[in-house]
Structure 1
Amino acid sequence: MKKVILAAAVSAVFAVPAVAAENADVVVVGAGGAGLSAAVTAHDLGKKVIVLEKMAFVGGNTNRAAGGLNAAETKPQEKAGIKDSIETHFNDTMKGGKYLNNPDLVHVLTDNARYSVDFINSLKEGDLTDVGMLAGATNKRAHRPAGGGFVGANVVKTLATAAKDKGIDVRTNAKVEKLIVKNGKVVGLQYKGKNGVKTINAKAVVIAAGGFGANQELLTKINPKLNGFGTTNQPGATGDGIILG
């Protein structure tokens, strides 16, 4: 018994100190298409970036995207002789959302979607050169790999390769559990990884965990008009984005 007590006392004296918090310019929560795009962009702007992904692999639900990336007035459309407009894309999107959409946010999407196509095509292995038609679209504007391949797989592969080539710190099996807020500003976060809970101080935190439409309860709570619009059959999509936000 005395030996046990002595051993405990020695362990207490030489206890391992708490791991010091890390520092980064930007921490990105989620390594899907949005998160990896944000990470690559921030890195190219000279920022120190850390990406945290709760799954064991990158890509998130972007891995499952099949149809295409909708965008109007793009270079691939012009090359193919397809006549389309941002205004038509906006109207199609509003109609598809039964006019419950926030017009200002829809404009952000439709006015800037073409730049997403340019961004992916500018990277090594990026291929959104084929343009097809999806339901609800007036014109062909679904950008995908040559031959009509799945868009998600190419986008994830392209962004993951870019992140690796640029030496961006991407950590999988790292679930963010808490945002650190001081004086009303997010200044970091805590996440649980393979070796326990860790803290990262950051100048900016980008929440790209997604899952908004995958959490029907929170979706309806935020906007009762969207009751019935959500889905809960997406593996890995739990609404983490709005839970943290």
Structure 2
Amino acid sequence: MDAVRTAPAVAGARRDGGTFDVIVVGAGGAGLAAAIEAQSLGRSTLLLEKAEKIGGTTGRSVGSVAATNTSHQIRKGIKDSPEEHLRDLGAFNAKLNLPGNPVFARMLVENVPDTFRWLEESGLEFFGPMTELPHRKQRMHNVIPDSRAYPFHLGRRARKLGVDIRTAAPVEELILEDGRVVGVVATIAGRATAFRARGGVVLSCGDYSADGKSRARHISPTMANVTPVNPYNTGDGHRMVEALGGRIINGHLHLSGLRFPPPPPKWYSRIPPYRPVARFMRWALENLPGVVTNRLITGFLTTVLVPSYKMFHEGAILVNARGERFTDETRDSAAEMGAQPDQKAYILLDGPLARKFSGYPYYVSTASGFSYASMEDYRQNRKDIFHEAPTLAGLAGQIGVPAAALEQTLATLNAERARDPKPGRPELKEGPYVALGPVRYYINFTDGGLAVNERLEVLGAGDRPVPGLYAAGLTGMGGVLLEGHGHHLGWVFTSGRIAARHAAYRVTTADLPEAGPAL
């Protein structure tokens, strides 16, 4: 099916789904923010979601938002500003050695404080702010109890305002009239259904992390078979815009790597993230010992957690189900992981190295709520993936790998490190030995977003704006670089709101002013 059709071409080929002021495609964080913003401005809004439930990648994320001038910073006596945030964001992005988009970077840092307050008004609770270098001030705010809270509270707000939300409704095409996008064609209950938009269509349908061909094309052929965190992110918005002559910026950028599985669900983890529950958890985090609260927080986690690569740079190794080391752990291991039995591995540390990872900056992973999880957090709260024994043979028995092979792997490793000692790469020869896992290789998301202008209008052939079409979130990155925790979600919610305001403005005004409406 073509990604773009003119109105006469689809006439008679689909049923009429009605007309709305604004249509939003994709009900992740950006789409929910866009739909709420448009509806709040008095515009009738349709939100179409490909999956059977809302939330998108946002609902599967760690859940942090980096922002300045928050009530959390003020309570801690932290004096901060968007200008300082912008400088620190530049320090994060410097390692990428890419030009970035300074206009969008400033748009983010100047608007995310208001977006953060908007999230709180929507019912979200946060803990923090927490430290993350090279931020010179604490800016990382972690959602409580976990990222499911975003679709829960934003979905409730959208429905209360009157947003028409349709799930299991993939959008297949854009409808054009005289070069302007005037609607979309979605599959509803197995039938092609056309919806028209008076103001505009906002594409917030994620990235292409779940499309093997796009991963191979934009990133690397070795990424073609990597498992995505969000299987619905198949690049639908990118495909439709490329059919209009649009382009993707920074297509190779992505977040991928080894991931721990989520913990087994506890009975209390099934409690919806009501605000009183989140407020109690926030109080507990601020007032009770970590040994008490971390167990509770861990029980609520539903996302795949990212092991810190600092463990590998300090000497930890990966072993497969045969007890063999199979890669240089300090480099990307996508191709090697795909070739291992069951595509799984274990992170192996000895006693001194395991004790080193006791908290920031030596942490095992980030996690919602308590930000940086230590080895002790995993020992106490993740017994499903934490394995410890005084001997290698004992550890091998726990994780089900051949003891002789594991012992030979460590003997070979230690001999190599003894011959060629390097800082941060010690021999692993003192018990108790620890194995974390199994871990698998996943791709979280791609940063290859569509080219858009300052109004978040999609740019088509010749980088000319496509009238009536906007993009936000991971779909509408526009070349902005967002290294560091909390910047992607900040952009997701902020860009969704801004795109919706421009789309809503076009409902009653034919010519958009150069500056456009601000948040």
- TM-score, normalised to structure 1's length? 0.79
Secondary structure of 1:188 counterpart = strand
Match of residue 133 from structure 1: 131
Match of residue 242 from structure 1: 238
Match of residue 233 from structure 1: 228
- Code of the aligned partner of 1:39: A
Match of residue 168 from structure 2: 173
Equivalent position to 1:47, from 43, 60, 80: 43
Going from structure 1 to structure 2, the CA distance change for 1:83 and 1:37 (only over 3 Å counts) comes to same
Match of residue 203 from structure 2: 207
| Contact 2:14–2:194, Cα closer than 8 Å, also in 1 | no
Match of residue 55 from structure 2: 59
1:95 aligns with 2:95: no
Going from structure 1 to structure 2, the CA distance change for 1:183 and 1:170 (only over 3 Å counts) comes to same
Going from structure 1 to structure 2, the CA distance change for 1:186 and 1:82 (only over 3 Å counts) comes to same
Identity level (%)? 30
How many residue pairs were aligned? 222
Match of residue 427 from structure 2: none
Match of residue 107 from structure 1: 106
Q: Offset at 1:195?
A: 3.6
The RMSD of aligned alpha carbons is 2.9
What is the rounded CA distance, in whole Å, between the counterparts of 1:212 and 1:68 in structure 2? 22
Going from structure 1 to structure 2, the CA distance change for 1:87 and 1:120 (only over 3 Å counts) comes to same
What is the rounded CA distance, in whole Å, between the counterparts of 1:239 and 1:135 in structure 2? 32
Match of residue 144 from structure 1: 142
Match of residue 4 from structure 1: none
| Contact 1:117–1:128, Cα closer than 8 Å, also in 2 | no
What is the rounded CA distance, in whole Å, between the counterparts of 1:180 and 1:26 in structure 2? 14
What is the rounded CA distance, in whole Å, between the counterparts of 1:220 and 1:178 in structure 2? 24
Residues 157-212 of structure 1: per-residue CA shift (max 9 Å, x gap) = 11011122223210100000001112221110101121411000102111111216
| Structure 2 stretches lacking a partner, 5+ long | 1-11, 242-519
Q: Which moved further from structure 2: 171-180 or 232-241?
A: 232-241
Match of residue 71 from structure 1: 67
Match of residue 151 from structure 2: 156
| Contact 2:15–2:192, Cα closer than 8 Å, also in 1 | no
| Contact 1:134–1:142, Cα closer than 8 Å, also in 2 | yes
Q: Which moved further from structure 2: 103-112 or 30-39?
A: 103-112
| Contact 1:28–1:208, Cα closer than 8 Å, also in 2 | yes
Going from structure 1 to structure 2, the CA distance change for 1:93 and 1:18 (only over 3 Å counts) comes to closer
Q: Looking at CA atoms only, which structure, 1 or 2, has the larger radius of gyration?
A: 2
Q: Offset at 1:138?
A: 2.6
What is the rounded CA distance, in whole Å, between the counterparts of 1:120 and 1:17 in structure 2? 41
What is the rounded CA distance, in whole Å, between the counterparts of 2:77 and 2:15 in structure 1? 58
- Code of the aligned partner of 2:37: T
What is the rounded CA distance, in whole Å, between the counterparts of 1:127 and 1:170 in structure 2? 24
Match of residue 180 from structure 2: 185
What is the rounded CA distance, in whole Å, between the counterparts of 2:106 and 2:208 in structure 1? 19
Q: Offset at 1:139?
A: 1.9
What is the rounded CA distance, in whole Å, between the counterparts of 1:220 and 1:135 in structure 2? 32
| Structure 1 stretches lacking a partner, 5+ long | 1-15
